[in-house]
Amino acid sequence: MRLGFCCLLVMSCASVPTPRQVLCGDAPDCTIDPAVQQIVEQELDRLAAHRRSVIVVIDPSTGSLLGLGGRDLGKSSPWLAGKLAVDPGSIMKSFTIAAALESGVVDETTEVAGEGGRWRREPDDLITDHVAHGIMSVEDVLVYSSNIGTAKVAVRLGPEPLAELYSAVGLASAPLRQMRPGVVPDLRTAAPAIAARVAYGAEVEPTPLQLASSFSIFAAQGRHRPLSVTLAGQRPATQVITEATAARMQRLLAQTVARDDGTGAPARLPGQTIAGKTGTWQLQEGVSWANFVGFPVETSPRFVVLVGIETTSPGSGGGTLAAPSFARVVSLLTAPPP
């Protein structure tokens, strides 16, 4: 009754575009799933108190966009996730570790010194961690989200393999015509200090839509499919890391959630194995971008979900704010039909 009354006051109900119409127009083969989109909109409404929020849901096996939405200062902004270039923080560590495993310069048990939380890579280049660590395994580096550990892995790796991975997953490209390209430094020519910062999640600004699409390789046996919003727009997959490396990354990303000392622990769901990564970045004094991206790993993952939130809430981050939101979305997406 209230919806009908509002439509009469403003315009005819038929003229109010649905999110599916905004995203796909009149395409009959639109990949946006109404049930998925309803879950996305429901969670965005729950996050309405924050300055901005975005949710992306992708089918990693096809590259199809199943759900997409955003809120910008309380207003609906369906394409916000593809137009907002923002530093995702520590989520980028996933790509550094993946490139290092693929190249064979480390394995999950390789030990890295945490330097007590402060490492001066060069006299004028101090890298810090929020929590001081001693000797860490590569698994620990990802679970703890260690800047120092990731930077040290990147030094062993060198810039070329990571630059190639970024290019292969289209991290700096515009995945759809309505989107903007992200900002990713050319690691081949970047100064060593910049390359180290990029490796652990600084100096790089993909859109959340690009990030979710790129992260999908870990849920799709190392294959990347370009994003599509119509069945006709689906394109062939490209193998960017081996199936073995993708499986190893699934196990590592699952540990960031499963371990009690993992930053992603709030993304846990009963009876499900969740693989994912947190990220937090301070945009300005008192304003942070908190995000989490991940997927359920049982058999063949059906969804990759990214939640990103711009917040002024003190102490809020990828683990405390975005990961629980992710869990709510995935619990609904994977719930058995009534």
- Write the DSSP string, 107-157: -TT-EEE-GGGEEEEETTEEEE-SS---EEEHHHHHHHT-HHHHHHHHHHH
Query: How far apart (Å, rounded) are the C-alpha atoms in residues 32 and 292?
Result: 21
Looking at residue 1, its pLDDT comes to 31
Mean pLDDT, all residues of the chain: 90
In angstroms, how far is the first alpha carbon of the chain from the final one?
A: 26
Distance of CA 286 to the CA centre of its chain: 22
DSSP 181: -
Q: Which residue has the tokens 């309405």?
A: 48
Tell which residue, 217, 222, 225, 224, has the closest CA to residue 244. 222
Contact 256, 276 (CB under 8 A): yes
Contact 128, 72 (CB under 8 A): no
Q: Which of 77-86, 137-146, 221-230 has the highest mean pLDDT?
A: 137-146
Residue 91 CB partners (closer than 8 Å, separation 6+): 201, 211, 215, 277, 278, 279, 291, 292, 293, 318
Residue 273, burial from CB neighbour count under 10 angstroms (0-12, 13-18, 19+): middle
Query: How far apart (Å, rounded) are the C-alpha atoms in residues 28 and 14?
Result: 17
Distance of CA 139 to the CA centre of its chain: 19
Q: Which residue has the tokens 């046996």?
A: 221
Looking at residue 300, its pLDDT comes to 65
- Given a cut of 60, whether residue 258 has pLDDT beyond it is yes
Looking at residue 23, its pLDDT comes to 75
Least reliable range by pLDDT among 16-25, 217-226, 235-244: 16-25
Q: Please state the rounded mean pLDDT for residues 298-322.
A: 90
Question: Can you identify the CATH homologous superfamily of domain 19-333?
Answer: DD-peptidase/beta-lactamase superfamily (3.40.710.10)
CB neighbours of residue 219 within 10 Å: 27
For 95-138, write each residue's pLDDT tens digit. Answer: 999 999 999 999 999 999 999 999 998 888 899 999 999 999 99
pTM for the structure as a whole: 0.92
For 313, the token pair is 């809430």
pLDDT bin (cut points 50, 70, 90) of residue 18 is low
- Bridge partners of 298, per DSSP, are none
Q: Which residue has the tokens 């993952």?
A: 301
- Given a cut of 50, whether residue 173 has pLDDT beyond it is yes
- Bridge partners of 135, per DSSP, are 113
Residue 35: φ, ψ to 5°: -70, -40
CB neighbours of residue 328 within 10 Å: 16
